[in-house]
Amino acid sequence: MTPAYTYCALIDVLGYKNRLAEDKDSGEFLFRDDLEQALRAFDEVNSAVFSVQAISDTIVMTCPAHTNFLEFLDVVRKVFLRFLDRGLFIRGAIAYSRHFQNNRMTYSHAVARAYELESSVAIYPRIVIDENIVQMHESGTSGVVLKGKGLILCQNGCYFLSVLDESSWSAAYCSAAKAYARDKATIFRNEAALSKHVWFEQYLKDTSVEPGFIPYIERAAPY
């Protein structure tokens, strides 16, 4: 069977190794419980349309048809918020290319492209969308309209999924603030880890609909 063109979202759970080590050192299973609750976001996913695989810190979800792409984006958005609700940041990418999967193997240009974008472009807690997807839908060949619907944001030429709206903003702010407070000691002097919290705080500020945004990350102070 020739691999068919398919949408693929590859999602990585940030801080997986550190949280796993914390469970091991404490003898508790707090991270496992958070993961279990977060992955329940997939319980309501239509398995006849979307395929989901979760292995270790990586989740792969596919959508074979243009007609289901907007629903696919909404599912990924809900997954992001469900993980955030458990204090977990995720990062990922969505690509569109050839994909084949059966019980024994996965052969996928789409997964490879999504991995490339997730590892080298996404950087922060966000879901990057391959530019060729945007261009394809702009051309009108797919029958799907993305522009002007508030589904995708663009910054510095990088397209990514808009996961926050008026109904989800407050809960996301509280969850992100709690995640920073929990991670503050472990990310001390780790600028790469801190940058993910800083980026998401700025995203919250940019999408806030109310004045008087209150930062939760410690600011730089005079020596």
- CATH number of the domain enclosing 147: 3.30.70.1230
124 lies in the same domain as 202: no
Least reliable range by pLDDT among 32-41, 138-147, 157-166: 138-147
Residue 138 is predicted with a pLDDT of 87
Q: At residue 104, does pLDDT exceed 80?
A: no
pLDDT tens for residues 207-221?
998 888 999 999 889
pLDDT score at 1: 66
For the chain, give the secondary structure using H, E and C: CCCEEEEEEEEEECCHHHHHHHHHHHCCCHHHHHHHHHHHHHCCCCCCCCEEEEECCEEEEEECCHHHHHHHHHHHHHHHHHHHHCCCCEEEEEEEEEEEECCCCEEEHHHHHHHHHHHHHHCCCCEEECHHHHHHHHCCCCCCCCCCCCCEEEECCEEEECCCCCCCHHHHHHHHHHHHHHHCCCCCCCHHHHHHHHHHHHHHHHHCCCCCCCCCCCCCCCC
Q: Are 132 and 193 in the same domain?
A: no
Beta partners for 152? 161
The domain boundary residue, chosen from 121, 145, 162: 162
Note the pLDDT of residue 194. Answer: 96
Residue with the bigger pLDDT between 107 and 68: it is 68
Identify whether residues 192 and 142 lie together within a single domain. no
Same domain membership, residue 149 and residue 184: no
* pLDDT surpasses 80 at 105: no
Say if residue 101 is in the same domain as residue 175. Answer: no
> Using one digit for the tens of pLDDT, what is the confidence trace for 13-28?
999 999 999 999 999 9
Do both 37 and 88 map to the same domain?
A: yes
Note down the domain range covering 81: 4-162
User: Looking at residues 194-218, what average pLDDT do you find?
Assistant: 94
Question: Are residues 157 and 99 part of one domain?
Answer: yes
Share of the chain above pLDDT 90, in %: 80
Judgement on whether residues 56 and 67 belong to the same structural domain of the protein: yes
For the chain, the distance separating the N- and C-terminal CA atoms, rounded to the nearest angstrom, is: 65
Residue at a domain's end among 142, 162, 182: 162
Alpha-carbon span 203 to 80, nearest angstrom: 14
Domain boundary among 143, 162, 181: 162
Partner residues linked to 6 by β-bridges: 97
Do 98 and 9 share a structural domain? Answer: yes
Give residue 154's pLDDT.
Answer: 96
| Structural domain count, the chain | 2
148 pLDDT more than 90: no
Residues 208 and 104 in one domain: no
Mean pLDDT over the full length of the chain: 93
Q: Looking at the structure, do residues 83 and 184 belong to the same domain, yes or no?
A: no
The answer to whether residues 60 and 138 belong to one domain is yes
Long-range pairs, 44-49, Cβ under 8 A, ≥24? 45/75
